[in-house]
Structure 1
Amino acid sequence: MAIGAIDSGKIQAMLSQLKAAAQNQPTNTSTMVGGFNGIVKPTAPQSVNSQTKVDFSEALKASLDQVNNSQSKAVELGKSFAMGDDSVNLSDVMVASQKASISFQATVQVRNKLVSAYHDIMNMQI
């Protein structure tokens, strides 16, 4: 597995999503990329510009699972390297560790923004 390689299929899927968004047309959910495959649920057409909706709790759970998987992968690679596995390179371990760290930091920032928004809403006067 080549870490950092970009699959051309994902690039094409992203381009088709961007083109569809520019034309205000709903995208095909089978081409979704970024760890949210199967999360986007099409809704019943309510108007001509009906868009697909994302269930927030499912999207949040999927992103947390993705962060957890990246951290688990980094730990496993680190253990394999420490045990002397010749198939694991130090660069692979470091890249996986940095990816896990960045994804965790992004998750913490999202959590902080959600908590801040919650406090702002709770402090609003009715």
Structure 2
Amino acid sequence: MNLRLTPNTMPVAVRPNILGSQSQTSVGGTQSGGFSGALKSALNSVSAAQNEATRLQREVQLENPQVSLEETMVAIQKAQIGFQATLHVRNRMVQAYTDIMNMQV
């Protein structure tokens, strides 16, 4: 079983920048890049993974023969790992904010 993440299977927020330039995505006709753009992209990716896992769970419960239990379990694990990573990033950001606010000027 191949468990490596290739650039095509990695979430958008984690993909290496192949061209070496700053990643920018178009949102509503405006350019957003940097940390805020990457964070929005990561949150959208995690949300999409959770929605997909929920959809597959529903299909398995309805006994849809087109959806396998293995596929559903993998989708659930991907969503869970993405959510945990997002939670860790949030905790680190809150800790960094607290550290900055406690610095003496």
Q: 2:71 matched to which residue of 1?
A: 92
Counterparts of 1:69-80 in structure 2, within 5 Å, are 69-80=48-59
C-alpha distance in 2 between matches for 1:92 and 1:100: 12
Contact kept in structure 2, 1:39 and 1:55, CA below 8 Å? no
How far residue 98 of structure 1 moved from its aligned partner, in angstroms, is 0.2
Over 4 Å off, 4+ runs: 4-7
Aligned to 1:101: 80
Matched, 1:60 2:39: yes
Offset, 1:73: 0.1
Looking at structure 1, the residues matched to 103 and 74 of structure 2 have their Cα atoms a distance apart, in angstroms, of 44
**Structure 1 gap ranges (5+):** 21-25, 30-35, 41-52
State the TM-score, normalizing by the size of structure 1: 0.62
Structure in which a larger fraction of residues adopt strand: 2
> In angstroms, what is the RMSD of aligned CA positions?
3.2
- Using a 3 Å threshold, how does the CA distance of structure 1 residues 93 and 16 change in structure 2: closer, same or farther? closer
Q: CA separation in 2, counterparts of 1:15 and 1:56?
A: 14
The 2-side partners of 1:113 and 1:6 are apart by 24
Answer 1 or 2: higher relative contact order, Cα 8 Å, separation at least 6: 2
**Distance in 1 between residues matched to 2:79 and 2:101, nearest whole Å:** 33
Paired residue total: 93
- What's the secondary structure of 1:59's corresponding residue? helix
Decide which structure has the larger Cα Rg and report it: 1
Q: Is it true that 1:81 corresponds to 2:60 in the alignment? A: yes
1:97-126 deviation digits (Å, cap 9, x = unpaired): 000000000000000000000000000000
The one-letter code of the counterpart of 2:54 is V
Alignment deviations for residues 69-111 of structure 1 (CA, whole Å, 9 cap, x no partner): 0000000000001001000000001000000000000000000
Write the letter of the residue equivalent to 2:76: S
Identity %: 38
